[in-house]
Amino acid sequence: MAVVVGDDKPHVVCIPSPAQSHIKAMLKLAKLLHFKGFHITFVNTEFNHNRFLKSLGPNSLDGLPDFRFKTICDGLPPSDENATQDIIALCESLRDKLLAPLIDLLTRLSDTSPPITRIVSDGFFPVTLTAGEQLGIPVVLFYPIPACAFMGLKQFSTIVEKLGPPPVLGYFDAISSMFPKLFSVGPLQLLLNRVPEDPLKPVKYSLWKEESQCLQWLDTKEPNSVVYVNFGSITVMSSLQLVEFGMGLANSKHHFLWIIRPDLVRGESAILPPEFVNETKGRGLVASWCPQEEVLNHSSIGGFLTHSGWNSTIESLSSGVPMLCWPFFETNRQIVDILARNGA
């Protein structure tokens, strides 16, 4: 493989949507591009940049001379730094308020060496197309979702009428007819596993502080004996649903590792009843966040109770862990409409 060095490196600006799963997928892609010889500038919102520094440490985003991190303002008022931002407000801000700060950042980056040769943007951040057009920078859109989900957003109002229920593999062919320059990439982590002596391996992906002690707890368990439970970064549930899941784990009699984010329960603290505590004493561990891929690759994990997020699905499949699925996304028509417009 030819490696490009010095100022001749193509310079790619990677811009994810400001959500945990989208940042993680884009950062993996950026690492792979860096390995192939690209100079990378990775752009987070100031809010998420500060969350990374808090969860991973003050030097966690130092990067390398040819892999650097920059920020833009998300246009939202201050909010809880340990909670996911309001999705509707965030989507609207991405669409309506970020063009000017993005153009300002790209203009400043264009005056550096090497010059920007391309933008790789999350497909849910379409304002980058406008910015790229104004500045004469080509833009490639990266969608960290399955083809069927993209088709659902693209054809939100007509998909059932026009296509019926085609097989999942048919979606990629259907999308190819609309977008000839279409590429399926991944699984990203399996590609990263092939990178020898990756200098960016210390660069992590989590907006919450990971409790890595759970790995030592897993070391004490038999192979395939632990149920791993994690509903991802944006799922919210009622306190009743939390208790139902908890008592289900209690009644299963299995060992379990359950990730309960600080903002998992809608508008309340996550409180489990005394019966759950008594019933699960000695066979369960509850943590606020964890290094998921390391957990899924641990020999003690026998199954994964998941919200079916695309990152979690791909990571579980890549680790060979069977899934018990509780598909979740905020079933708010306004959110779906905004995502459909942003993903267009």
- Per-residue model confidence (pLDDT) at position 135: 94
Q: Which of 44, 86, 56, 17 is nearest to 330 (CA)?
A: 86
Rounded to two decimals, the pTM is 0.73
Q: Which of 97, 153, 94, 85 is nearest to 122 (CA)?
A: 94
- Per-residue model confidence (pLDDT) at position 338: 54
Residue 7: active-site member: no
Active-site residue, selected from the candidate residues 34, 39, 49, 122? 122
- Per-residue model confidence (pLDDT) at position 2: 36
Q: 300 with 224: CB under 8 angstroms?
A: yes
Given phi > 0 = left and psi -120 to 50 = alpha, else beta, which region is 232? left
Question: What are the structural domains, with CATH classification, of the chain?
Answer: 7-144+179-206 (3.40.50.2000), 213-325 (3.40.50.2000)
> Mean pLDDT of successive 10-residue segments in the chain (344 residues)?
54 92 93 94 92 84 87 83 76 84 92 89 90 94 85 65 56 76 84 84 82 94 96 88 93 95 80 89 92 95 93 92 85 51 54
- Per-residue model confidence (pLDDT) at position 257: 97
Return the HEC string of the chain. Answer: CCCCCHHHCCEEEEECCCCHHHHHHHHHHHHHHHHCCCEEEEEEEHHHHHHHHHHHCCCCCCCECCEEEEEECCCCCCCCCCCCCCHHHHHHHHHHCCHHHHHHHHHHHHCCCCCEEEEEEECCCCHHHHHHHHHCCCEEEECCCCHHHHHHHHCCCCHHHHHCCCCHHHHHHHHHHHCCCCCCCCCHHHHHCCCCCCCCCCCCCCCCCCCCHHHHHHHCCCCCCEEEEECCCCCCECHHHHHHHHHHHHHHCCEEEEECCCCCECCCCCCCCHHHHHHHCCCEEEECCCCHHHHHCCCCEEEEEECCCHHHHHHHHHHCCCEEECCCCCCCHHHHHHHHHHCC
Cα distance from N-terminal residue to C-terminal residue, the chain: 35
Residue 307: active-site member: no
